[in-house]
Amino acid sequence: MGQFTTALITCGSILAVILATDSGNRRITAVRIAAPILVAVLVIGACVDSFPTAGNDPSLHLAGIGVGAICGLVAGSLLYAHRDRTGEVRSTGGLGHAALWVFLCGGQILFAYGCEHWFGADVTRFTTDYQLSGTEVLVSSLAVMSLSMVVARTAVLLSRLRAVRAGSTGEGSRSFEN
């Protein structure tokens, strides 16, 4: 499977589940928290053939994890938690949250397309210059970046859930009646 196809399937699936679970005013449940991680792991497991470890490949994977974590934290910061009238904890993901996920996933898909169609020679030169094992490491790095985005978003959502349950109204957690 090519880099673009892999990015399209992984990012498209992750984007769909994130938008389905986070958009609007939703109750925070265990399924809602776990579903995006489960989908990400399953899709990445099905689409990514290998995780190269030669040369500087682990460094690129770590960079992907770091960038993904930062992006996931930023996206998660756009989710607000609160209690509704019945006392259930809910979160609200608005247009900014959805737009950021579309931008991040779309950027990964566009990059993967560009690697295959626009700047393939530059990618080959980059992987050679930096002692990477080829385009397969780019595929796996984008995959771990996507997974770390989802994990970071989940960590923020769990943090918001705990803060609201504890009665805290810190930044990002708002208590109000619906």
Task: Record the pTM.
Answer: 0.87
Between CA 15 and CA 35 the distance in angstroms is 12
pLDDT score, position 52 = 82
Question: Residue 124 has which token pair?
Answer: 């080959």
- Reduced to 3 states, what is the DSSP secondary structure of residue 111? helix
Query: Under a CB-based contact definition with an 8 Å cutoff, are residues 101 and 18 in contact?
Result: yes
- Reduced to 3 states, what is the DSSP secondary structure of residue 77? coil
Q: What is the pLDDT of residues 125-177, one digit of tens each?
A: 999 999 998 888 888 899 999 999 999 999 999 999 999 999 855 444 444 43
Low-confidence ranges of the chain (pLDDT < 50): 170-178
